[in-house]
Amino acid sequence: MTAPARTGMPVHFRDVPPAEAGGVVAHRVHADLDGSGLEMAVLVVADRGTRQVEQGREELLYVLSGRGEVVVDGTAHALVADVAVRVAGGAYELRSSGGAALEVAAVAGRTDPGVPTADGPVTLDLADRATHPAVSQREYQLLFDPDGGCSGMTQFVGYVPALRTPRHTHPYDEMLCIVSGTGTVEIEGVEQEVSAGWCYYLPRGTVHLVQNRADEPLVELGVFTPAGSPTQNTPVE
């Protein structure tokens, strides 16, 4: 298995050497298995493939491009861009259709037996989720969290308008993938230009900011642990 990129700093998933298993090509971009337990990969499926989630862990998927199906517990669910999937410990299958590869951002993390959860669906469509205000004139849409059956993580999509956020920290560990738009991410004073496909990791307490100089929003997929609200942050300037 190839080593993930250095924890924290943004990297484009295509710049990380892939590893193929079971028909799924995985670009493993960030991992902190001994700490937060989070691991992020971008999965590319040209036809079909299977993937295994360890017991005691869950994997949250988000379709970046392409279309197809995910098969969980023997039931097929349609996949198109901006559909999210929750898979508990066990195997699942990804199938691509339409002639283009299916590209999926996947973040796995530990379950938390101490967090009560509601019975949740296998898939959620971003188009059906409410939009909520966040700090710095940003907005977000919640996907999976304890209300959707995921005990250990929260998955959301955030929107950064044309602004520079204050430098700030979060009380949780978070992995992010740029879905669309362009901008810059500064982590502990180091700045990197980002666009669709760039991924980064923010261990809790990491000082960072995001800047969008374009008219179109910078759209980010985020997954963090422990589960909570994406609005939790502490400004440091």
DSSP codes, 123-173 = EEEGGGSPPEE-STT-EEEE-SSGGGT-SS-EEEEEEE-SSBPPPEE-SSE
Q: Which tokens sit at 166?
A: 């204050």
| Amino acid identity for residue 74 in this structure | G
**Residue range 131-166, pLDDT digits in tens:** 999 988 899 999 999 999 999 999 999 999 999 999
Q: How far apart are the first and last CA of the chain?
A: 40
38: Cα separation from own chain's centroid: 10
Backbone angles phi, psi at 148, to 5 degrees: -105, 15
Q: Which residue, among 105, 111, 87, 110, has the nearest Cα to 34 in the 3D structure?
A: 110
Tens digit of pLDDT per residue, the chain (237 long)?
344 544 589 999 999 999 999 999 999 999 999 999 999 999 999 999 999 999 999 999 999 999 999 999 999 999 999 999 999 999 999 999 989 999 999 999 999 999 999 999 999 999 999 999 998 889 999 999 999 999 999 999 999 999 999 999 999 999 999 999 999 999 999 999 999 999 999 999 999 999 999 999 999 999 999 999 999 999 997
Q: Give me the domains of the chain, ranges plus CATH numbers.
A: 11-125 (2.60.120.10), 127-235 (2.60.120.10)
**Residue range 78-94, pLDDT digits in tens:** 999 999 999 999 999 99
Q: Which tokens sit at 185?
A: 């991410």
SS3 state of residue 14: helix
